[in-house]
Amino acid sequence: MQTIINTNNAHETETTCLIASVYADQKLDDTAANIDAAMGGSLQKMITTGDIRTSLGKTTLIHQPHGLKAERLLIVGLGKADEMDAAKFNQACHAAGKVICEQALGSASSCLHHNGISTQSIEWNVRQSVIAIGHANYVYTATKKPKPEDPKVIGTLEVLVTAQSNEIKRAVAHAQAIVTGYTRARELGNLPPNICTPVYLAKQGQEIADKYANCSYEALNTEQMQALGMNALLGVARGSRNPPRLIILRYMGADKDQPPVVLVGKGITFDTGGISLKPGANMDQMKYDMCGAAGVIGTFEACAEMQLAINLVVLVAAAENMPDGDAYRPGDVIESMDGQTIEVLNTDAEGRMVLCDALTYAKRFEPAALIDIATLTGACVIALGHHASGLMSKSDELADELLDAGQEIIDRAWRMPIWDEYQSQLDTPFADMQNIGGMPAGSLTAGCFLSRFTKDQNWAHLDIAGSAWKWGTQEGATGRPVALLSQFLINRCK
């Protein structure tokens, strides 16, 4: 989606579709009032008669609106003015983007930011509206033939502003970069596992790094990881014919002496559960078990596109978990890269196995902040559903940074406890730890496991099992938490 800025008046704009918004219980804003005047008062009349729905997220598409130069007018309901907040504004803008995409209009002009959140700047309203519309502007076509009636992505989104400024231009540029990252993450998440293998993920990382002069790429193969003692990651990969990779992407946007932020993504490109085989129903959705990897790769691309004044390292622990004759077993004891031993009680707790070695490897970069992102536990979905990512950290400052970033860009997380009292659930007489802590507090003991490999780090863990895709639906990957992580990086540049 290409986003352009224009200072035309909305009611005088020639466009395939003009997008505006109205509240259910408030007079028309200046933009909507001008549209109404050009239409001879018919907009207000349709609102009064109920022909235009004003409840939050409800949309009404008017063809050939009298008095306007636009071919169509899309009115988005904002609900009650005193109930409006940033999340609801985001929802309304997303609804508009979805209609434009489903109607296969190809282009549109938006003035949704004119009627946005009064407590936020115009730049925030512009950026958030573009991000929301862009997020809705996604259609999967990689392995299917499009039909004439299928949705069509918006080629061009025109943002109508009263005056251009460097701040508006920056807001639009950041929004478009984040949409690019979102799109990359969604596409990687949705690809079938016979295409999106660890090697494919590595090639995608190289493709992105090659686009930017200040980016670099490296991928460690099995032999290189063996030399480093990455036995936990390699143990998970042993049962698959698709070889694993540790993907290393580096972005240098600041002085070389500035410590980088390091993001580590879980990249299990398909998860059968291994010897601890998952039930057959819905196993196809385990292609989404690499959404942590997709999220950090998308964030890397967004950061590089924005050319942020920060240094960033992205690590992707990419492997496939299969029940081959050489697969690791329940009861095995594996020595991790940092020398701690792990008793495997369940081979389906493989995400923490690949992450622990990647987190150990990350220490060589001396991170300013170390954050891992993973579709780690079904227990997190039970706890938080599909709206919030689970956040765990021993650092109040880092946790607050991530929470604030998610709130600012409406890609929210919720902090969960990671108290030492939970650590005892990982005790075993046969190793330094076991890889599961039992049924109680499954998300928290997974975080406790990872904390044992990050004791000297400014570390946080994001469990995106519920937010990265919606279980049991056909909606596919969401691309989260690209926006949260991108905003976190933007804030670190201020």
pLDDT of residue 473: 78
Confidence of residue 402 (pLDDT cuts 50, 70, 90): very high
Q: Which residues pair with 159 in a beta bridge?
A: 5, 110
d(CA 290, CA 189): 7
d(CA 243, CA 198): 7
Are 445 and 438 in contact by the 8 Å Cβ rule? The answer is: yes
* The amino acid at 485: L
Q: What is the pLDDT of residues 200-246, one digit of tens each?
A: 999 999 999 999 999 999 999 999 999 999 999 999 999 999 999 99
Q: What is the pLDDT of residues 12-47, one digit of tens each?
A: 999 999 999 999 988 999 999 999 999 999 999 999
Residue 488's alpha-carbon distances to 398, 404, 420, 492, in angstroms, are: 10, 8, 27, 6
Catalytic residue, chosen from 266, 352, 412, 480, is: 352
pLDDT of residue 146: 87
Give me the percent of the chain exceeding a pLDDT of 70.
100
DSSP string of 20-72? EEE-SSSPPPHHHHHHHHHTTTHHHHHHHHTSS--STT-EEEEES-TT-SSSE
CATH of domain 187-492: 3.40.630.10
pLDDT of residue 447: 98
State mean pLDDT over 335-343.
Answer: 98
Q: What is the pLDDT of residues 50-70, one digit of tens each?
A: 999 999 999 999 999 999 999
Secondary element (H or E) of residue 354? helix 351-362
At residue 475, does pLDDT exceed 90? no
Confidence of residue 142 (pLDDT cuts 50, 70, 90): very high
The two tokens of residue 474 are: 């056909």
pTM over 0.95? The answer is yes
At residue 331, does pLDDT exceed 90? yes
State mean pLDDT over 152-177.
Answer: 96
Confidence of residue 494 (pLDDT cuts 50, 70, 90): confident
Hey, where are the domains in the chain? 2-164, 187-492
d(CA 312, CA 248): 11
d(CA 343, CA 329): 10
Are 402 and 486 in contact by the 8 Å Cβ rule? The answer is: no
The two tokens of residue 457 are: 């780090």
State mean pLDDT over 280-294.
Answer: 96
Are 403 and 391 in contact by the 8 Å Cβ rule? The answer is: yes
Question: Is 352 part of the annotated catalytic residue set?
Answer: yes
Instruction: Classify 484 as helix, strand or coil.
Output: helix
d(CA 210, CA 250): 11
State mean pLDDT over 71-86.
Answer: 96
State mean pLDDT over 285-289.
Answer: 97
For residue 267, which phi and psi values (nearest 5 degrees)? -120, 60
pLDDT of residue 337: 98
Catalytic residue, chosen from 53, 69, 88, 278, is: 278
Annotate 131-156 with b (16+ C-beta within 10 A) or e (fewer): bbbbbbbbeeeeeeeeeeeebbbbee
Contact residues for 161 (Cβ-Cβ < 8 A; gap 6+): 5, 6, 7, 113, 122, 126, 168
pLDDT of residue 9: 94
Q: What is the pLDDT of residues 426-462, one digit of tens each?
A: 999 999 999 999 999 999 999 999 999 999 999 999 9
pLDDT of residue 472: 77
Q: CA angle, 351 as apex, 387 and 260 as ends, to 5°?
A: 80
pLDDT of residue 340: 98
State mean pLDDT over 377-398.
Answer: 97
Question: Is 241 part of the annotated catalytic residue set?
Answer: no
For residue 462, which phi and psi values (nearest 5 degrees)? -115, 115
State mean pLDDT over 109-122.
Answer: 95
The two tokens of residue 162 are: 């009263």
Q: Edge to edge, what strands does the sheet with 59-63 contain? A: 2-6, 156-160, 107-110, 18-22, 72-77, 59-63
N-to-C CA span, the chain: 27
At residue 85, does pLDDT exceed 80? yes
Place of tokens 């891992």: 372
Contact residues for 248 (Cβ-Cβ < 8 A; gap 6+): 217, 218, 219, 220, 313, 314, 315
State mean pLDDT over 410-429.
Answer: 98
Give me the percent of the chain exceeding a pLDDT of 90.
97
481 upstream amide cis, omega within 30 of 0:
yes
Cβ neighbours, 10 Å, residue 37: 14
CATH of domain 2-164: 3.40.220.10
Report CA dihedral (419, 425, 429, 435) to the nearest 10 degrees. -100
